[in-house]
Structure 1
């Protein structure tokens, strides 16, 4: 932030700019450069404003120096203005995804030299925002069983210039799906929602995706499927601030993970309703898919009773809640998918009764089951393997075949779309070849594709693997 403040202080309209400032600005600006949209002409429009306020809902845009004239919207530069401040006023009303890209667009439209502005200058502002919800959804919406090739983006990445670049690069590489966080285990909700309880517990203090509908639109115009990931019953803020919603053991003590109160009580009606409120709001943003994570009880044995209440088994509680979500999403034409433990596939009754994830029931109320098949998370000796992390083909193929049998016996049409490991934990030789082995194993065992997980969103190895697979495919075609 200090870096940028120096840059934009140099760009202030009332700053004296000696000649040497030009080279300083050019050097400082280099890391902020993005690929230009290629559109440098302003579009003539109808007046988009009346009493509309800016994104911070503080002052009408007319009071910020903006006015509409002859089909264009202008901003008159005032003393102290800089491009960063101007872009922040109008970002909500444009198709630009980040403030940096809007600065680039304003500069191109107005033919600014080195991003310099001066007092009383009239700047054309590209206040055109496409409402992608008015475009027939069939253009973007895929069938529930489509073949996915996806990556995960944290909310911090998804709401940033880095996320914009990753989305564009993944689309160019041949990807089909972006999964981004809306709510994680901290309980933070990363985009603005109108839920009083969320505001009350402090869940809206880190809305790094300020305009989630614009993010979704950006994903869709790159012909990608937009999936919103929502952590359900692992929710530090709700469990920590609302003691009556906290999951407790037989001695009435809060259930902790690594010393933290993390788990809410899945059987509590108000806990369920809170999460349903979040899901309803996210559905209204135009997502293609709701992806539920931590849709379970904690995997803790011993102190916690196997039953959440009289005659209430954990698996029945979880299945009943998933059914509620399914009824909510299916009426809106939105896919519902479930992230589940990879080990749950192997069906030990103690695991099922502890977590509440009985797959033969859950698959009846979801479009896809997303098992987290990370070989590094299987214990040494599993399936006779000394280090399962080094054997992705066998772990993935065996797990998917077993899950397919569970779904077949349940008579469900649910597809399997596994999360694959795209991080080096416990792997002896992690690289593009590892990704290729994992992808090919998932594709040979199923028809609905896969998603790649890196918590830090580091996908250089994935992009290299995609390039290698593309070359291999082209070579096969040329030899036919």
Structure 2
């Protein structure tokens, strides 16, 4: 036998590949599928990628809203979003604290769009000049085309945040105690730090005994009236500015704004006892000195001197061009030197300016004159004098310019005379260009005096107004535009011309008022004071030191009787009138 054989089945040879080759076989199909998907998305997807950034910083804006005709979505934290947009479709992109934009996609298929939004928030600080202290409560406004668009307020740290500021806006920062600041924003400016300058001075006005005084406090850019306690708050001033403090019955005070913006003022009381000196007398040294020696020897302490009288002539070398143009200048006085010399002698100086009886101006500027209804030419008084029209502001401006110039020369007071409409002549023929009613007349005179007063406020000079004596009794305007209440309300001093000889027969029950100087003066003053008791300190009457008309001539006794009447009526100041500037020394008390 043959030995048995075992059948051996041959082994199948297993083929093994290296492991890197095996992994590649798995990854390649995956990569190909990703690339295929990306290809499909990029080349076959019609969506557009939008990137929204801040125009100033370039940083992405997350949460920006993109609106299309059919949908709205927000950008992610990278400022991106994808959306389907048709050709020529307009999209709107907006984000908090940025201006929204509208964008039209002109191309058929726009793959990527970068959109820059303008920030419309402005932040900053408001601090005080000098020490840099924060200012709370400042109002910050964005203004465009004159309209306020948005407003904010600075906090206790002086910080503010202004939202919704339009492009090209003007920023205004304001605070009651500081000068305002106005800045035009630069392109894309988002921060504005403001430094404000204090411009309010605070203080109290008292007399020399410490009692509060009701006064007017003025500077170049405004004025205020003190309260009952004498306190004031004046805005519009800077360190070093002049401040003028005036109250009837007191000398004006001129002060300088200190660095702490605090002024406590003490006003010195003053009593005025004056004589009138006409320009011709004042121009002659010997004649002037004679009057000034009278002042030195007696209780007198003030003089009234003509700078412009009823002829229309201006008696000094004025810089008011109109006076030169119309030939009104007759320079026989040197007012600046005159004021200096008078003050060196302790004399209170008053400049007299006649206003509406001005034949020189009326002839040179006939369009400013009262017209004659029958001829169309200048209306004239019985003496043939033309008057300027008190309704014309050009006439106001001319006389106010002269008054301001006189104040600049150093006069303590400017006294306006003939502040009225005419009283003699063919009045029924006068044409004023407006209805010549009592209301219109009073309004015109009042408005002129108010304008003159305001012009003189930022000067050391007071404003006084001469009025007819009858105005103390007449409740209307006497046909001339003078009403006591209206005049007293807009000037510093009211000067009624209470000449007894000028009262009509029968006035106050006297056949000849001229012969009752004490009674006419006292009763008239007391009647006026009853009508405007709050204006007591403003009253300073003209007294008669001349003889006129029927009745006894005026001597020292008659003049002194009027002075006693002033005192007995509760007043202390007065002025003597004599057209020739000749006065009776015996009527006056000696000085010292």
User: Does TM, normalized by the shorter one, top 0.5?
Assistant: yes
**Equivalent of residue 313 in structure 1, options 418, 435, 440:** 440
Return the alpha-carbon distance in structure 2 between the equivalents of residues 385 and 304 of structure 1.
34
Secondary structure at the residue paired with 1:302?
helix
1:214-233 equivalent positions in 2, closer than 5 A: 214-233=337-356
Return the alpha-carbon distance in structure 1 between the equivalents of residues 509 and 450 of structure 2.
37
Please state if 1:286 is matched with 2:416. Answer: no
Corresponding residue for 1:396? Answer: 521
Return the alpha-carbon distance in structure 2 between the equivalents of residues 330 and 414 of structure 1.
18
Q: CA RMSD in A?
A: 2.7
Corresponding residue for 2:485? Answer: 360
Return the alpha-carbon distance in structure 2 between the equivalents of residues 315 and 367 of structure 1.
18
Q: Unaligned 5+ residue runs, structure 1?
A: 1-135, 475-480
Q: Is the 8 A contact 1:141 1:225 kept in 2?
A: no
Q: 1:230 to 1:310 in 2, by over 3 A?
A: closer
Secondary structure at the residue paired with 1:292?
strand
Q: Is the 8 A contact 2:342 2:349 kept in 1?
A: yes
Corresponding residue for 1:303? Answer: 429
Corresponding residue for 1:465? Answer: 587
**Equivalent of residue 335 in structure 1, options 462, 478, 481:** 462
Return the alpha-carbon distance in structure 2 between the equivalents of residues 378 and 310 of structure 1.
26
Mean alpha-carbon deviation: is it higher for 305-314 or for 229-238? 305-314
Give the drift of 1:197: 1.5
Corresponding residue for 1:478? Answer: none
Return the alpha-carbon distance in structure 1 between the equivalents of residues 275 and 297 of structure 2.
13
Corresponding residue for 1:238? Answer: 361
Q: Is the 8 A contact 2:468 2:496 kept in 1?
A: yes
Secondary structure at the residue paired with 2:496?
strand
1:378-397 equivalent positions in 2, closer than 5 A: 378-397=503-522
Q: 1:247 to 1:359 in 2, by over 3 A?
A: same
**Equivalent of residue 349 in structure 1, options 452, 471, 476:** 476
Q: Is the 8 A contact 2:370 2:388 kept in 1?
A: yes
Corresponding residue for 1:436? Answer: 560
Please state if 1:194 is matched with 2:323. Answer: no
Q: 1:166 to 1:412 in 2, by over 3 A?
A: closer
Q: 1:348 to 1:310 in 2, by over 3 A?
A: closer
Please state if 1:452 is matched with 2:452. Answer: no
Larger radius of gyration: 2
Q: 1:256 to 1:140 in 2, by over 3 A?
A: same
Q: 1:170 to 1:348 in 2, by over 3 A?
A: same
Please state if 1:163 is matched with 2:288. Answer: yes
Q: Is the 8 A contact 1:144 1:335 kept in 2?
A: no
Give the drift of 1:299: 2.1
Give the drift of 1:457: 0.9
Return the alpha-carbon distance in structure 2 between the equivalents of residues 246 and 197 of structure 1.
15
Corresponding residue for 1:108? Answer: none
Return the alpha-carbon distance in structure 1 between the equivalents of residues 317 and 429 of structure 2.
38
Q: Is the 8 A contact 1:371 1:419 kept in 2?
A: yes
1:119-134 equivalent positions in 2, closer than 5 A: none
Q: Is the 8 A contact 2:556 2:587 kept in 1?
A: yes
Corresponding residue for 1:119? Answer: none
Give the drift of 1:308: 3.4
Q: Is the 8 A contact 1:229 1:290 kept in 2?
A: yes
Secondary structure at the residue paired with 2:434?
strand
Q: 1:365 to 1:413 in 2, by over 3 A?
A: farther
Please state if 1:326 is matched with 2:468. Answer: no
Q: 1:380 to 1:145 in 2, by over 3 A?
A: farther
Q: 1:362 to 1:247 in 2, by over 3 A?
A: same
Corresponding residue for 1:66? Answer: none
Return the alpha-carbon distance in structure 1 between the equivalents of residues 401 and 296 of structure 2.
31
Return the alpha-carbon distance in structure 1 between the equivalents of residues 302 and 336 of structure 2.
16
**Equivalent of residue 264 in structure 1, options 388, 405, 411:** 388
Q: Is the 8 A contact 2:297 2:590 kept in 1?
A: no
Secondary structure at the residue paired with 1:355?
coil
Deviations 1:402-443 (A, max 9, x none): 1112222xx446521100000011341421111111111112
Deviations 1:109-139 (A, max 9, x none): xxxxxxxxxxxxxxxxxxxxxxxxxxx9999
Q: 1:137 to 1:313 in 2, by over 3 A?
A: closer
Deviations 1:274-298 (A, max 9, x none): 1121112111100000000011111
Give the drift of 1:172: 2.3
Return the alpha-carbon distance in structure 1 between the equivalents of residues 377 and 268 of structure 2.
42
Return the alpha-carbon distance in structure 2 between the equivalents of residues 372 and 307 of structure 1.
30
Q: 1:201 to 1:439 in 2, by over 3 A?
A: same
Return the alpha-carbon distance in structure 2 between the equivalents of residues 237 and 321 of structure 1.
20
Give the drift of 1:182: 0.4
Number of paired residues? 328
**Greater fraction of residues in strand:** 2
**Greater fraction of residues in helix:** 1
Give the drift of 1:331: 1.8
Secondary structure at the residue paired with 1:457?
coil
